[in-house]
A = this chain, B = another copy of it.
């Protein structure tokens, strides 16, 4: 499906509901907001289905964007949703009503009547940008959420998914005069005090093995309790240990409850993380995998170190 075809569809519609995915990120919310602004620019009524899992980080963008309970949509669009299994609870009634599905995940299940999936795009926001070119005019109200979508899905242009096109779209968005700096500060240069303290504890307790190439950091229940930290303070904490200079294998242990630990393994030095985690009943990707271990944090530490050594020994 092309931008032109998608635009033609949308031109004929009105009273449009836009769905976002569970645990919504900047890409799904940004795309939905930009699409809503674009459709309103075209004189249509469009709303986002309320997503209760949207965190405070996105609150300022979402003001007034969620559909009132009285809204009876005639058409349903889903953005950045790879599978109906990622539908929030309140989106389930629309399971078979998605007429246009716009996404960039290679794993997209194509559950819409029309599916516009471009897996080479770093963010779904890059696809919505093409729609803007086709259907309307780029304004700050459209550009700002698209910048949020693209910057957050690429770690502010740092991840390997970032392409020349990502930068070109960012350039066009910035030309509308949006305050990209404020977005960057909010999403990439701000941490909760609890998060910072938690990282501080992790740094203090982190252990290095194998000449500093393996790092193991544990987030214990005690740590979380002593900081009165919440789930959002620990979000994506698995990326923390991997930033240590020289570390190729970073293990983050999360104590779920006494006697049960979740482990996350990130590798950058060629060790297959899936093979390591498979030994402990887990799985994932070659560079990022996970597993759950019964036992204390120390048990988990011993088990994963042993698993790492086994996989290393085999590949010699």
Contacts and interface: CB of A to CB of B under 8 A. Distances in A.
Interface of A: 156-160, 162-168, 170-172, 174-175, 180-181, 184-185, 188-193, 196-197, 199-204, 206, 208, 212, 242-246, 268
B181 A174 contact: no
Contacts of A184: 157-159
Nearest to A169: B167
Given A171-B165, A174-B163, A184-B158, A204 B200 contact: yes
A74 to B, nearest CB: 38
Could you say how many copies of this chain the assembly holds? 2
Contact of A197 (B188, B196, B203): B203
A110 B185 CA distance: 34
A203 B158 CA distance: 25
A200 to B, nearest CB: 3
A243 B174 contact: no
Contacts of A196: 203, 206, 243-244
Contacts of A163: 174
12 contacts: A156-B158, A157-B184, A159-B184, A162-B180, A164-B170, A164-B174, A167-B167, A168-B168, A185-B268, A193-B206, A200-B200, A200-B201
